[in-house]
Amino acid sequence: MRHPDLDLPAVIRGISLDGIIRIDLGLEGDWSGSVIPIWSRRDGFVGFDGAVLSHSTHRPSLELYFEGAWVGVHCFTHEDGSNVFDRALADRVIEWVEESVGRTAAPFQSIRSAP
């Protein structure tokens, strides 16, 4: 059951996560130069280390990967003329994915156990 306080837009909550493989974080407009994996079914949450978290023109985004498809989610706020990674939104998306696929027990690294 999904946690009622995740506060995600309905369009995101409407995505079926049965076949989700991984979540990547990168900059829309420079995806190949900035993308890092942050969550997978095999490893759970692996962190944001190495991510570009702010840019003046490109927007931090999450991509939820499925077999043969992906769904992009803008994941930023505007601060001081830059697009800044919205960690709180990313945490909510990852928590929603983890609850939906039922993979939050050890040895699976959950967003809830991350610093």
Is residue 52 domain-resident?
A: yes
Is residue 2 domain-resident?
A: no
Is residue 78 domain-resident?
A: yes
Q: What is the mean pLDDT of residues 13-39?
A: 91
What sections of 2-86 are H helices per DSSP?
A: 10-13, 31-34
Q: What is the mean pLDDT of residues 13-38?
A: 91
Q: What is the mean pLDDT of residues 5-21?
A: 80
Is residue 4 domain-resident?
A: no
Give pLDDT tens digits for 55-112: 999 999 999 999 899 999 999 999 999 999 999 999 999 988 988 887 544 445 565 5
Query: Alpha-carbon distance 73 to 93, whole Å?
Result: 9
Is residue 102 domain-resident?
A: yes
Structural domain total, the chain? 1
Among residues 61, 97, 65, the alpha carbon closest in space to that of 77 is found at 61
pLDDT top residue among 81 and 3: 81
Note if the bond before 107 is cis, omega within 30 degrees: yes
Q: Which residues form the domain of 84?
A: 10-109
Residue 88's pLDDT is 92
Q: What is the mean pLDDT of residues 5-25?
A: 83
Is residue 1 domain-resident?
A: no
pLDDT for residue 12 is more than 90: no
Is residue 5 domain-resident?
A: no
- pTM assigned to the model: 0.82
Residue 112's pLDDT is 59
pLDDT top residue among 78 and 1: 78
Is residue 105 domain-resident?
A: yes
pLDDT for residue 1 is more than 50: no
Residue 111's pLDDT is 59
Class of residue 12 by CB neighbours under 10 A (exposed 0-12, middle 13-18, buried 19+)? middle
